[in-house]
Every structure is written in C-alpha cells, then in structure tokens.
C-alpha cells in the first residue's frame, strides 16, 4: 500500500473557497484543517497552484 504524501497549503478564506470549488471537480484535498490551512496531495501541488493562479487572474479587477 502506498501512502499519500501531503503538503500544507496556507491561504486566506477567499482563496480557500476557490480551492474547495476546484476540489469538487478533481479531488486533491486530503484534509481541511481550519480557515486558512488545507493539506493537499503533494503530487497535485503544481497543478493546483497553476489552476489557482488562473482562477485568481480571472477575478483580478483592472481600470484599464
């Protein structure tokens, strides 16, 4: 049996909500610790960070 390695992910409450929504489509959260911390699968960390960056760019407000 292979143990799943996890990575502690620290974020604010708004980002955590985005991550929880992303997790519904493709599961990567191992444990929801509190308002600002999640443990995610180490193998998915790069993909999750990339997807999160894309989501945050969509929500960026600009006056231009």
Q: Where are the domains of the chain?
A: 6-58
Token look-up 């929880």 returns 20
Q: pLDDT of 1-47, one tens digit each? A: 778 899 999 999 999 999 999 999 999 999 999 999 999 999 999 99
Strand intervals (E) in the chain: 6-10, 29-34, 37-41
Q: Which residue(s) pair with 38 in the sheet? A: 9, 32
Q: Using alpha carbons only, give the angle 10, 4, 55 rounded to the nearest 5 degrees.
A: 40
The C-alpha atoms of residue 52 and residue 58 are separated, in whole angstroms, by 10
Statement: 6-58 belongs to CATH 3.30.70.1220: yes
59 pLDDT more than 80: no
Report the pLDDT value the prediction gives residue 51, as an integer from 0 to 100: 95
pLDDT band at 58 (very low <50, low <70, confident <90, very high): confident
């Amino acid at each position: 049996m292979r143990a799943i390695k996890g990575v502690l992910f620290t974020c604010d409450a708004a980002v955590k909500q985005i991550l929880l929504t992303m997790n519904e489509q493709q599961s990567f959260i191992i444990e929801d610790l509190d308002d600002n911390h999640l443990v995610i699968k180490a193998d998915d960390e790069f993909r999750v960070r990339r997807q999160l960056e894309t989501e945050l760019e969509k929500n960026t407000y600009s006056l231009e």
